[in-house]
Chain A
Amino acid sequence: MSANGTPVIRLEGVTKVFFTDEVETHALAGVHLDIRNGEFVSIAGPSGCGKSTLLSILGLLDSPSGGSYILNGKPAQNLNLAERARIRNREIGFIFQSFNLIGDLSVFENVELPLTYRGMGAAERKKRVQEALERVGMAHRMRHFPSQLSGGQQQRVAVARAIVGQPLILLADEPTGNLDSVNGEAVMSLLQELHRNGATICMVTHDPRFARHADRTIRLFDGHVVEEEEAGRAERDLVESGFVAEHGDRQRGTV
């Protein structure tokens, strides 16, 4: 499925600098990026190159040090706290590497959470949660607690939680990173199915096998976008460039 329509996300010259102990870390150094409606974009790159930072800026968990971020046609960098929270709640669905389900809440309550923050009525919430859990095949585990689920199941619940609010875009940071290959595949095919049904997805992954599911792969290096490519080429290039082998033992982008 090819990219089309208006950009949901537009980044222009976005930078992010962290200051720690007199060390400046340029996690992002002028990133340009368009993500159009319905696209499935994957972000790759060596450890420490700024992938998570990019994703958290896209998700309004963090704000850029410079540049502009246009979300759904509106500038997003000068929003106040409440507006940011509102957008996170309605327009964005997060999927984390470490699932991040809340242990004290049941599967149902976890999925329900974004809707609760939206102030939606209970009946409506119940209906939507049920739908979302059915889509990820976890409806039968509604009353369970996260600790009673396997990793793959937990991640499927996390996906349900991300999509329950019908967000504009799904942001996934290494959603398969904590899963074995079988469970990883299951979650990936779930994302693909969502994509086929029209979801816009932006996913960070190291794994070339999963990157190939995407329409487009963006390669980051030292806080720069060094390559953008269409589906299918990412895997080959990554292997050739040696990034796959290097993954995990290099910290870049530090001045």
Chain B
Amino acid sequence: MIQDLRQAIRGLVRSPGFASAAVATLALGIGANTAIFSIVRSVLLRPLPFADPGALVMLRETHPRTGPVGINLTPANFESVRAAARSFESLECWDLASLNLTGRGEPVRLRAARVSGGLFGLLGVPPARGRFFRDGDAGVAVITHGLWSRVFDADPGIVGRSITLDAKPYTVAAVMPRGFRFPIQPDSPEIWVPLNVTALSSGEMRDARVLKVIGRLRPAPGSGEARAELAGLAARLREARPDDNAGLGLLAIPLRERVVGDARPALLLLLGGVGAVMLIACANVASLLLARGVGRRREMATRTALGASRPRLIRQLVTESLALWMLGGVFASVIAVWGVRVFVSIAPPDIPRLEEIRLGAGVLGISLLSSLVTGLLFGVIPAIQMSRSRIQGPLQDSARGGTSDRTGGRLRSWLVVSEMALACLLVVGTGLLTRSFLRLRASDPGFDAAGVLTLEVALPDSRYATGESIQAFFADARERISAIPGVRAVGGSTHFPYRNRWRNPVTAEGREPASAAQAPLATISPVTPGYFEAMGIPLRGGRLFTSRDDAGTLPAALLDETAARQFFPGQNAVGKRVRLGSGGSDPAWMTVVGVVGTIRENPEARSFPEIYLPFRQLAPRLVPVLGRTMFFAVRSGGDPLGLTGSIRGTIRSIDPQQPIAAVALLEDLRADSRAERRFSISLISVFGLSAILLAAIGLYGLVSYSVAQRTREIGIRSALGALRADIVRLVLRQGLLLGLAGAAAGILASYLVTRFLSRLLFEISPTDPITFAGGSGIVLSIALLATYLPARRAARLDPMSALRHE
């Protein structure tokens, strides 16, 4: 055995081309695969970090106008469902908020959630310190481990300590364990405070769709039970409040789906990439070993003739495969560990569950095992082929000075062609996604982001209780910011692209819906004067808002072009009237004073018509609910970020306790909205790249080997007068034929497969001819390159020594 090992190692050292191709294949194939698969598993397959996560569902309302994922519940509906539902062990709710933490140096704005008292119990994760609050508790807070260490310096006496949030005292009740996030989303809250559901459901907000609801299903024999019960409950809600609940349905979505739902297609795509790369790697190992086996037929025959038994030969070959595999495995593990680390460090933070990503030992094991099986299988084939009747052939070949290798090549060629085809498929897929991404990036958002700074000011209700005080603050703030030198235009909106949007049913005069459920949804944005100038949204007709559009004047509205077209097709919208709500009593008609360009913040999604109203005309009773947070856009003549300091100072000159938050360039907001996609595209590109690389290694190995095999033939050909160019052509033709076959098969495969990508593609057909041509072109050029090197080597062979070659 030791002797076998020594011979095996010597054999590998003697054919460094073969050995390095095989080791590179194993390292790349297994390593990259393990890394990516670990990531996919952590994000997609591993259970959520809550007790019995399979039983957790999100409860959503559905309406005829909403998408398949539904919308939040109203407090009233939540109360009714919670009281009646039997198939849930518990139902809890939360709402995202932001709180200003003061009294510890600079005021800071914290991402927060108001949660019902039983939420933590429902999730089943115990706190690291302290204890949870319960329903009815007030003035208490639970904080993340991160906030505890960042802001409170990991103070061991934190539980029971008093802090000031939005100018009100709170007591810290508990610290969550490190890594706990809820809800799991890009900007998870850092702090949780009690939500008074009872107060909410009897107050002003009882019919606002604000509550996110999570439930834990009772262990039940049939899964249909909960659905049936929810259908019944929905029917009762529709009857009880036919106006607000017209067309209402209730939908339970498994929590996991909600968490990873968006990332799922991308991750499944990656998984497909993993499979393809793994297949290519295995094919590579197989074809390399086969080539080597054919090359050693004569050696095997000689050994057999000298009396080696077949088991003896097999043992030798197995040893060799094992030695290769171990070497490859070491490199692979290094690449895998390193790959996961790199991934986590470069991934955008909005990849869900990023911090849970670990290298999966099981995954590594599976990859190593599959490559081992391939290696052993194909490594041993030459020994098995060496049945007695075949011994003579190879030995005779040598006696006759033949150069024939007509038998061995077929399977290897097939393997390499399939590799090329898979690589082509991956390249085409990457190409489609990249082109789609570029189109997305180049698409016109409808505003001019260059030179615009955005920031957020959230006024706490403790100090700004009335709508009037809030409106006065923001009017003052806008006025003062516009006076800062370097500010070209400034305006704010309570609802802002990429941040938060407010959708509401609306009614256009003359097109009143037959029933409330049919009223169209529109994005509603209460804006201050200057907003359109600051954002660079063009005016298409009529006029913009001015400071005269306030509580004392006629309610005004601006429509975007989409709204104008949809609500008043074929007419001039200016002068027409619209109002919020689906009919009935309360809100007043607003006169359309102008039409502005449409914003497309996500060009892929269906865009809603957008209606702008003057912030000063927002009903004062709605302002504390909907208008307490203002997003300002500041257009600057110079460096927008340079304005941050003076803007912060300006805000503080109005209220020294008031922080500004979320300072960002509008351009960055726009880019960030595409970060996740860009990231998954770069991951896919890694696959495309490794696939192409592996296929190139495979082809290179095959052609090099066959050049080595054909050394003597090449000598004969040059003796007969072949020019170097003839020899190069001879070898290139072999590689190109394989490349062409691979590209053709790859194009066919792409044609069949890329349609599954169509959901991820923007303004590009899944069979885009340019991408297909480019993909096959890349594969062919790589094939050419991988063949050219051995071809050149072949052409440089000295005819004399080539003729001597055994």
- Interface residues of chain A, those whose CB is within 8 Å of chain B, are 56, 59, 61-62, 81-82, 85-90, 94, 96-104, 113-114, 117-118, 145-147, 151, 154, 161, 165, 178
Contacts and interface: CB of A to CB of B under 8 A. Distances in A.
A89 B402 contact: no
A59 B723 CA distance: 15
A149 to B, nearest CB: 9
B404 A161 contact: no
A99 B800 contact: no
Nearest to B403: A103
B720 A98 contact: no
Contact of B401 (A94, A100, A113): A100
Contacts of B404: 103-104, 145-147
13 contacts: A61-B803, A88-B720, A88-B721, A94-B720, A97-B401, A100-B401, A100-B803, A101-B403, A113-B717, A114-B720, A147-B397, A154-B400, A161-B720
A191 to B, nearest CB: 18
A40 to B, nearest CB: 21
Interface string B400-425: 11111110000000000000000000
Contacts of B405: 103-104
B399 A117 contact: no
Interface size range on B against A: 20 to 34
B400 A88 contact: no
Contacts of A100: 401, 403, 712, 715-716, 719, 803
B734 to A, nearest CB: 11
Contacts of A62: 799-800
B582 interface: no
B719 A61 contact: yes
B799 A117 contact: no
Contacts of A151: 400
B479 interface: no
Given A56-B800, A62-B800, A100-B803, A117 B722 contact: yes
A101 B403 CA distance: 7
A165 B715 CA distance: 18
Nearest to B714: A102
Contacts of A103: 402-406, 713
Quick one: which of B401, B720, B722, B800 has the most chain A CB within 10 A? B720
Contacts of B712: 100
B726 interface: yes
Interface string B152-180: 00000000000000000000000000000
Contacts of B400: 98-99, 146-147, 151, 154, 178
Nearest to B720: A114
B724 interface: yes
Interface in B684-719: 712-713, 715-719
Given A56-B800, A100-B803, 10 more contacts: A61-B718, A61-B719, A61-B800, A62-B800, A99-B401, A103-B713, A114-B720, A117-B721, A117-B723, A145-B406
Contacts of A165: 721
Secondary structure at the B interface, as helix, strand, loop or mixed, is helix
B401 A98 contact: yes
Quick one: which of B401, B403, B717 has the most chain A CB within 10 A? B401
A103 to B, nearest CB: 2
A95 to B, nearest CB: 10
B806 to A, nearest CB: 11
Quick one: which of A61, A99, A118, A161 has the most chain B CB within 10 A? A61
Contacts of A89: 720-722
Quick one: which of A86, A102, A178 has the most chain B CB within 10 A? A102
Contacts of B399: 178
A100 B710 CA distance: 12
A113 B726 CA distance: 11
B401 A81 contact: no
A175 to B, nearest CB: 12
A62 to B, nearest CB: 5
A85 B724 CA distance: 9
A66 to B, nearest CB: 18
A170 to B, nearest CB: 13
Contacts of A61: 718-719, 799-800, 803
A147 to B, nearest CB: 6
Interface of B: 397, 399-406, 712-713, 715-724, 726, 799-800, 803
Given A96-B803, A117-B726, A59 B713 contact: no
Given A56-B800, A81-B724, A88-B721, A96 B713 contact: no
Nearest to B401: A98
Nearest to A88: B721
Nearest to A97: B401
A118 B721 contact: yes
Contacts of A97: 401
A145 B407 CA distance: 13
A85 B402 contact: no
A143 to B, nearest CB: 15
Contact of A88 (B397, B403, B719, B724): B719
Given A99-B401, A103-B402, A103-B403, A86 B803 contact: no
Nearest to A154: B400
B526 to A, nearest CB: 80
B712 to A, nearest CB: 7
B715 to A, nearest CB: 8
A57 B750 CA distance: 55
B722 A85 contact: yes
Contacts of B720: 88-89, 94, 113-114, 117, 161
A145 B799 CA distance: 24
A176 to B, nearest CB: 14
A86 B719 contact: no
A82 B726 CA distance: 11
Nearest to A86: B721
A81 B726 CA distance: 12
A153 to B, nearest CB: 11
A178 B403 contact: no
Contacts of B401: 96-101, 178
Contacts of B726: 117
Contacts of A146: 400, 402, 404
Nearest to A114: B720
A89 B721 CA distance: 4
A59 B721 contact: no
B737 to A, nearest CB: 14
A-B residue pairs, 9 tightest by C-beta:
A89-B721, A103-B404, A98-B401, A88-B721, A103-B402, A103-B403, A100-B716, A117-B721, A114-B720
A82 B719 contact: no
B713 A102 contact: yes
Contacts of B397: 147
A172 B437 CA distance: 67
Contacts of B722: 85, 89, 117
A251 B220 CA distance: 92
Given A96-B803, A100-B712, A100-B716, A147 B402 contact: yes
A82 B721 contact: no
Nearest to A62: B800
Contacts of B406: 103-104, 145
Contacts of A87: 721
A96 B799 CA distance: 13
Contact of A101 (B402, B718, B719): B402
A154 B401 CA distance: 10
B403 A104 contact: yes
A68 B188 CA distance: 88
Contacts of B724: 81-82, 85
B309 to A, nearest CB: 28
A113 B727 CA distance: 13
Nearest to A94: B719
A85 B403 contact: no
Nearest to B726: A117
B408 to A, nearest CB: 12
A210 to B, nearest CB: 19
Nearest to A91: B721
A82 B715 CA distance: 15
A178 B400 CA distance: 8
